[in-house]
Amino acid sequence: MQAAARAYTNIALIKYWGKKDEQLILPMNSSLSLTLNAFYTETRVTLQQSLSCDEIIMDGKVLSGHSAEKIIRFMNQVRDQSGNRTYALIVTNNHVPVASGFASSASGFAALAASAARAYGLDCSGVALSRLARRGSGSASRSIYGGFVKWMKGTKDEDSYAVPIDPANWGIRLVVVAVNRQKKKISSRLGMKRTVQTSPFYPIWMKEAEKDLGRMEQAIHHHDLEMIGEIAEANALKMHATMLAATPPFTYWEEGTLTVMRRAAHLREQGIPCYFTIDAGPNVKLICSVEHVDQILDDLSDFFPLEALITAEPGPGVQFLEDPIH
């Protein structure tokens, strides 16, 4: 009746951008990510007969409003699947480096899926957890596994889930540059919806994403870090281009975003392989090899405070916690 789990966030190298089914969260395109060790969420779910609704405590505060509704909707699905109508106390803590501004729905819903599945007695296999996490947030389906992970878009609820493809234990690093820690004005959910509905570039995005995915799998197979970086950077740019062509148009980029993009180009000119990727926000992640991290940090420290620069290693998959410490 009680279970706890920890899940790490992930960064997409081939982006998920657009839903085919908003209810089931089925994506328009398959995607591929790297799970990171630097940011994680721990969640404990305790079934309590005395409760008349779910109670959610996030980072020490009672959660209400839109974020709480999303979690309650998710818990209702868990109750539907298990046939157990009992409400739960959900205590969840995000472990993100101070000042990074990253609160991740990927790690959040992966940790919630695992702890809720176990507490309500549902199937806890990787496939089942990935499918369940997907119902909370698409990108959460990938945080069930560590290393490089592919989310196969599938055609229906049963076959849209993530699979691990490589442990990523051969020297890849991500330097996260926190450009702005404010909450973004357009959520990824709204941003992708507007893009699917209005961007004339969207059909091209879908074709390109599938092509990029195939090439990325080859690059990972060959441990070719430069190729991984090149494909990831191009894929992120294509995703962001779809938004500029949407109605009304929008972008998540800020001045600082462009600064980091230019630094990546500059570092490459200096012979340091370093490539950016950007999600639905202004922050930038630089893909590089462990031996170049110091030079990259040194370059960026002329433009950003040190606390805005976080180096992440590949992280593990979801873990059940026997003796949860919050």
Which positions touch ligand DP6 (CB under 6 A)?
Answer: 12, 15-17, 25, 31, 105, 137-139, 188-189, 279-280
Nearer to ligand DP6, 1 or 234 (CB): 234
Minimum distance, C-beta of residue 22 to ligand DP6, in the bound complex (Å): 8
Minimum distance, C-beta of residue 178 to ligand DP6, in the bound complex (Å): 16
Nearer to ligand DP6, 47 or 318 (CB): 318
Nearer to ligand DP6, 38 or 267 (CB): 38
Nearer to ligand DP6, 22 or 291 (CB): 22
Minimum distance, C-beta of residue 252 to ligand DP6, in the bound complex (Å): 9
Structure tokens at 156: 């229906």
What is the rounded distance in angstroms from the CA atom of residue 50 to the CA atom of residue 119?
16
Minimum distance, C-beta of residue 64 to ligand DP6, in the bound complex (Å): 19
Minimum distance, C-beta of residue 48 to ligand DP6, in the bound complex (Å): 27
Nearer to ligand DP6, 212 or 267 (CB): 212
Q: At residue 44, what are phi and psi to the nearest 5 degrees? A: -120, 130
User: 155 CB contacts (<8 Å, ≥6 apart)?
Assistant: 26
For residue 103, how many other CB atoms are within 10 A of its CB? 17
User: 230 CB contacts (<8 Å, ≥6 apart)?
Assistant: 275
Contacts 24+ apart (CB under 8 A), 126-132: 126/317, 127/161, 129/318, 130/161, 130/162, 131/157, 131/158, 131/160, 131/161, 132/77, 132/78, 132/81
DSSP symbols for 133-189: HHHH-GGGGGGGS-SEEEEE--SSGGG-EEEEEE---SSEEEEEE----SPPSS-HH
Minimum distance, C-beta of residue 124 to ligand DP6, in the bound complex (Å): 22
Nearer to ligand DP6, 251 or 295 (CB): 251
What is the rounded distance in angstroms from the CA atom of residue 272 to the CA atom of residue 265?
9
